[in-house]
């Protein structure tokens, strides 16, 4: 069975975006030690899972070869097949991406059953909160930026019940970001 990971940027107070979707608070550029950590995290990934809203910006941004990003990272993001979770799209407008709609648990179960290596979700907010609430993730990798926003799009909104996690690793990086690696505690 494939491992399904979440990688998300967050503020210290648990927001992945500001009140109007702002991302200008992210700590950039990343330090070499954080880049190496992310490379190790994504090396075994052969499927990227995105929500539709994030895909609309994420896929074209990587396709443009963003300035300052190592070519190896650009190639990894562009060459890795993507699954866009959407109940509004019926086909993908992007290269190397398919659209999956319907019941989220059924979609994830189908993806897990396929041969392959790890899968990683980057979001957006609706997808992240649904994956967490449904208990569909094997690993949560929270990249905590040294900033408090006060309000915005929470990583963990109204989950309906407690979600106990086990800390696997915590590591501070030279740029100020701290990576927290959690696994869900399953009953």
CATH number at residue 130: 3.40.430.10
Q: Does residue 115 have a pLDDT over 90? A: yes
Does the pLDDT value for residue 175 go beyond 90? yes
Q: Would you say 101 and 85 are in contact if contact means Cβ atoms under 8 Å apart?
A: yes
Asked if residue 118 has pLDDT above 90, the reply is yes
pTM above 0.85, yes or no: yes
Q: How far apart are CA 89 and CA 115, in angstroms?
A: 25
Range of the domain at 165: 4-184
Q: How far is 61 from 114, CA to CA, in rounded Å?
A: 28
Give the model confidence (pLDDT) of 120-167 as tens digits.
999 778 899 899 989 999 999 999 999 999 999 999 887 777 889 999
pLDDT in tens, 32-88: 999 999 999 999 999 999 999 888 888 888 888 888 888 888 889 889 999 999 999
> How many domains does the structure of the chain reveal?
1
d(C-alpha 102, C-alpha 95), whole Å: 22
Number of H helices, E strands in the chain: 5, 10
Q: How large is the average pLDDT for residues 180-185?
A: 95
């Amino acid at each position: 069975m494939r491992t399904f990971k979440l990688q998300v940027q967050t503020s210290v107070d648990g927001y992945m975006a500001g009140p109007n979707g702002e991302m200008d608070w992210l700590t950039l550029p990343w330090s070499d030690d954080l880049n190496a950590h992310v490379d190790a995290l994504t090396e075994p990934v052969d499927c990227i899972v995105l929500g539709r809203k994030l895909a609309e910006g994420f896929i074209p941004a990587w396709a443009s070869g963003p300035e300052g990003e190592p070519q190896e990272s650009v190639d990894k993001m562009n060459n890795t097949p993507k699954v866009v979770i959407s109940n509004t799209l019926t086909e993908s407008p992007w290269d190397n991406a398919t659209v999956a709609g319907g019941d989220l648990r059924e979609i994830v179960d189908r993806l897990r059953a396929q041969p392959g290596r790890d899968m990683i979700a980057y979001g957006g907010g609706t997808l992240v909160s649904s994956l967490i609430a449904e208990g569909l993730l094997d690993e949560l990798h929270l990249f905590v930026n040294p900033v408090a926003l006060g309000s915005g799009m929470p990583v963990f909104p109204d989950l309906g019940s407690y979600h106990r996690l086990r800390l696997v690793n915590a590591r501070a990086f030279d740029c100020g970001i701290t990576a927290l690696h959690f696994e869900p505690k399953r009953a």
